[in-house]
């Protein structure tokens, strides 16, 4: 996920390693972006950083560069190739913050703030400020602002935008989520041109609509207003699916949203018998199918406005 390219400045992109106790990274190109010569070469040479989220709300980008700090032969690194092939170990070695499954990121087009979903981590026992819950079934969204507004800054300031979960265990700007917007396991994330943040959920098929997850229903997509600190449920998907991917046309009047693997909660035994939990997208279908939704407003206005 890239920061918008600016003439004369480096290309900056962020990535998450979607696994328990893994990391958030930032890449900064060595060469500046120039429109007339832009190309893939900007990804060939640069510096990869990993994030450390400090308890006081500050943060540091730690360089993953051979020979810097502890990334030396004494600690098992003999070249930059060693660092990049063994990136997780390198991040461990420099002391980055182990996160609760960092998955999707999005950049606010107006403020340049960066938001990242932390889907969940039921195996966490030791907590920290950015990952504050043990046995974290619900997940959270972290956000940060680069120091002095510079995308290639070496430090940042961060907070938790929302702690997902039920009314009894969630937080949005000091208040609990409610029946109209409770969600868990945030996954997909995207900002539209008006800085509405679209949040998509990915509860595992093994738990959705069971036990303590039953209160959330199927996986869904929500719309958030970060300025006024409002989140509202926008749509709920069919049984046994994950909502993933969202974009609008430039005029924001048509939205495209993907529904992935509907009916996946059907057991192998029931599938063999033809007894499926879903025939989405229509009842006459023999098998459910992944598909892209095309959404417009009845008044043909801007979606989410």
What pLDDT, on a 0 to 100 scale, did the predictor assign at position 55?
98
pLDDT at res. 168: 96
In angstroms, rounded to a whole number, what is the distance separating the alpha carbons of residues 253 and 88?
42
Q: Which residues contact 43 (CB under 8 A, 6 or more apart)?
A: 11, 27, 29
- How many C-beta atoms lie closer than 10 Å to residue 149's C-beta? 10
Q: What is the pLDDT of residue 285?
A: 82
Is 118 in contact with 109 (CB distance < 8 Å)? no
Looking at residue 286, its pLDDT comes to 85
What confidence score (pLDDT) does residue 239 get?
93
Does an H or E element contain 236, and which?
strand 230-236
d(CA 220, CA 238): 9
Residue pLDDT tens, the chain, 305 long = 899 999 999 999 999 999 999 999 999 999 999 998 888 899 999 999 999 999 999 999 999 999 999 999 999 999 999 999 999 999 999 999 999 999 999 999 999 999 999 999 999 999 999 999 999 999 999 999 999 999 999 999 999 999 999 999 999 999 999 999 999 999 999 999 999 999 999 999 889 999 999 999 999 999 999 999 999 999 999 999 999 999 999 999 999 999 999 999 899 999 898 899 999 998 878 899 999 999 999 999 999 98
Cβ atoms of 259 and 238 within 8 Å: the answer is: yes
What pLDDT score does 284 carry? 79
CB atoms within 10 A of CB 71: 23
| pLDDT, position 283 | 81
**Alpha carbon distance 80, 153 (integer Å):** 22
Return the closest-CA partner of residue 102 out of 55, 78, 136.
Answer: 136
Rg (CA), the chain: 21
Q: What is the pTM of this model?
A: 0.96
Q: Which residue has the tokens 């868990």?
A: 184
Sign for the pseudo-dihedral over CA of 298, 292, 110, 252: negative
Q: What is the largest CA-CA distance in the chain?
A: 66
Phi-psi region of 221 (alpha: psi -120 to 50; beta: other; left: phi over 0): beta
What is the dihedral angle through the alpha carbons of 134, 137, 138, 143, rounded to the nearest 10 degrees? 50
- The tens digit of pLDDT for each residue in 121-170 reads 999 999 999 999 999 999 999 999 999 999 999 999 999 999 999 999 99
The tens digit of pLDDT for each residue in 71-87 reads 999 999 999 999 999 99
Please report the pLDDT score of residue 86 as a whole number: 98
Picking from 191, 151, 187, 120, the residue whose alpha carbon sits closest to that of residue 26 is: 151
Helix, strand and coil content of the chain, in percent to the nearest 5, comes to 15, 35, 50
CA 61 – CA 52 distance, rounded (Å): 6
């Amino acid at each position: 996920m890239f920061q918008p390219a600016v003439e004369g400045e480096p290309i900056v992109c962020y990535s998450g390693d979607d696994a328990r106790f893994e990391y958030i990274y930032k890449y900064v190109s060595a060469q500046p972006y120039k429109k007339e010569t832009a190309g893939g070469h900007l990804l060939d040479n640069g510096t990869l950083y990993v994030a450390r989220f400090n308890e006081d709300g500050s943060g540091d980008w730690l360089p993953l560069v051979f020979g810097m700090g502890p990334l030396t032969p004494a600690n098992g690194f003999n070249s930059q190739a060693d660092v990049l092939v063994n990136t997780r170990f390198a991040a461990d070695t420099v002391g980055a913050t182990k996160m609760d499954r960092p998955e999707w990121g999005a950049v606010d087009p107006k403020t340049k703030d960066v938001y990242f979903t932390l889907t969940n981590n039921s195996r966490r026992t030791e907590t920290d400020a950015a990952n504050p819950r043990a046995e974290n079934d619900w997940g959270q969204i972290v956000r940060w602002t680069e120091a002095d507004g510079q995308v290639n800054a070496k430090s940042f300031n961060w907070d938790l935008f929302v702690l997902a979960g039920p009314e009894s265990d969630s937080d949005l700007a000091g208040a609990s989520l409610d029946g109209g917007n409770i969600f868990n396991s945030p996954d997909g994330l995207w900002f539209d041109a008006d800085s509405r943040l679209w949040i998509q959920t990915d509860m595992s098929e093994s738990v959705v609509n069971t036990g303590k997850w039953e209160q959330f229903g199927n996986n869904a997509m929500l719309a958030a207003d970060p300025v006024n600190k409002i989140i509202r449920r926008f749509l709920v998907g069919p049984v046994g699916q994950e909502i993933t991917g969202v974009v609008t046309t430039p005029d924001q009047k048509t939205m495209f949203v993907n529904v992935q693997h509907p009916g996946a909660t059907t057991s192998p035994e029931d599938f063999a018998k033809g007894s499926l939990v879903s025939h989405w997208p229509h009842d006459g279908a023999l098998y459910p199918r992944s598909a892209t939704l095309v959404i417009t407003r009845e008044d043909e206005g801007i979606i989410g406005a």
